[in-house]
Amino acid sequence: MFNVTILGNNSAVPAFDRHPTSQVLTTNNELFLIDCGEGTQMQMQLYKIKRSRINHIFISHLHGDHYFGLIGLITSYGLMGRINDLYLYSPPGLQVIVQMQLDVANVVLPYALHFVTITSNTILLQNNKIKVSCFATNHRIACYGFRFDEVKSPRSIDAPKCLQHEIPAAYYTKLQQGENYEKRDGTIVLNEAVTVANTAAKSYAYCADTKYDETILPFIQNVDLLYHETTYLDALQDKATERYHTTTKQAAAIAIQANAKQLLIGHFSSKYSVLDDFATETQSIFANTVLAIEGGVFEV
C-alpha cells in the first residue's frame, strides 16, 4: 500500500468547502502527514485517518495555510494519552511557535516531541521501508518539497518454501537480494524456488508552495506521482510569479521535464469556486493529471 489521501487542497483561506493544505501518505507500516493546515483534525475524522499511526509530520513552510492545524493535533495527541515519539520536520521557527503555545497553556505532553529543523536539501528519514528527502522550493519564505521513496529488496521470501528447503532465517536477507542457497551437501537451491519478485518500489514527490522553478527537477526525476501546486489558472501567470506560486500549465511543464508518471494538482486559490478549468488546462499539456479533491485517495 502506497497512496495519498487529500485532507485539504486550498491555498490561503478555507473557501467553497475546501480546506487549507494537508495530506496523508499511507504505507503498509505507517502514515506520514504532509502539512497540517487549519481543520486537518476534522478532516482526519471525516476521512477515517488512523492518526495514531502518524509518527512523522512534514511541514513545507510556515505560512499559516500549511501548519495552523498543528497545535490542535499536538495537544489532542496529549489528551488522548499518546506515548509514541512524534517527529516534526520544518524550516526554522516552528519549535519556538509550538513551544510558546504549549508553555502559555501549561501543557505537559505525555510523549516526546522532536523538532527537526530543515536548513538545506538533505535526507530526513531512512529505514528499511522508506526514504524521505527534502529539497528547497522557490517561495517567498523558506520552503521545502519532500520526496518519499519506498525501499524494497528485489525479492520477497516464500517462507513455506524456505522451510521446506531448511534454509536458516539468517540467510533470508541474501535471498531477498537474489542469491542462491547452497546446502551442506553442495546442492544448490535456486533463488526463484524460494522467493518471489517484488513489485517495483514507488515514489511520491510533494511540491508546495513554489513559483515555477526548474531547479527542483533533479529532486523529483522519474517519480510515480508528483504533487505540484497550481494556485492559479494560466491567465494569471504574472500574478503567480509575483506571489511565488505556479499555474496549471507551468505545473504540467514541470511534470513533463521531471518524467513523472502522474501529476496531482492542488493548493487552489480561493478566487475559484469551481476547479474544472484546472484539470482541463493542465491536461492539455500533461494528460495524466488529476485534481487533488478532498477525500480523494490516489494510488502512487
User: Residues with catalytic annotation?
Assistant: 65
Alpha-carbon torsion angle 274, 275, 280, 283, nearest 10: 180
With respect to Zn ion, which residue has the nearer C-beta, 150 or 209?
209
The torsion angles phi and psi of 42, rounded to 5 degrees, stand at -65, -40
Strands (E), the chain: 2-8, 22-27, 31-36, 54-58, 86-90, 113-117, 122-126, 130-136, 144-150, 155-157, 181-182, 188-189, 195-197, 203-207, 225-229, 262-266, 289-291, 297-299
The three-state secondary structure class of 22 is strand
**Could you tell me which of 218, 207, 203 has the C-alpha nearest to residue 252?**
207
What is the DSSP secondary structure assignment for residue 93, as one 8-state letter? T
With respect to Zn ion, which residue has the nearer C-beta, 65 or 294?
65
With respect to Zn ion, which residue has the nearer C-beta, 61 or 147?
61
For the record, the C-alpha cell of 37 comes out as 493546515
CB 231 → Zn ion: shortest distance, Å?
Answer: 8
Stretch of 44-52, 62-70, 176-184, 288-296 contacting Zn ion, by CB under 5 A:
62-70
CB 207 → Zn ion: shortest distance, Å?
Answer: 12
Could you give the string, one character per residue 261-300, with x where binding to Zn ion holds by CB under 5 A and - elsewhere? ----------------------------------------
CB 143 → Zn ion: shortest distance, Å?
Answer: 6
Could you give the string, one character per residue 2-41, with x where binding to Zn ion holds by CB under 5 A and - elsewhere? ---------x------------------------------
For the record, the C-alpha cell of 216 comes out as 527542483
**Of residues 65, 234, 281, 294, which one binds Zn ion by CB under 5 A?**
65
Stretch of 59-67, 92-100, 105-113, 280-288 contacting Zn ion, by CB under 5 A:
59-67
Stretch of 22-30, 63-71, 118-126, 275-283 contacting Zn ion, by CB under 5 A:
63-71
How far is C-alpha 164 from the geometric centre of its chain's CA atoms? 40
List all residues 6 or more positions away from 288 whose beta carbon is below 8 Å from its beta carbon. 261, 262, 263
Note whether 21 and 13 are within 8 A (CB). Answer: no
Note whether 12 and 270 are within 8 A (CB). Answer: yes
**Of residues 35, 150, 209, 224, which one binds Zn ion by CB under 5 A?**
209
What residues numbered 147-166 form the site for Zn ion, per CB under 5 A?
A: none
CB 49 → Zn ion: shortest distance, Å?
Answer: 21
CB 229 → Zn ion: shortest distance, Å?
Answer: 7
With respect to Zn ion, which residue has the nearer C-beta, 13 or 102?
13
Could you give the string, one character per residue 95-134, with x where binding to Zn ion holds by CB under 5 A and - elsewhere? ----------------------------------------
Contacts with Zn ion, residue ranges (CB under 5 A): 11, 63, 65, 209
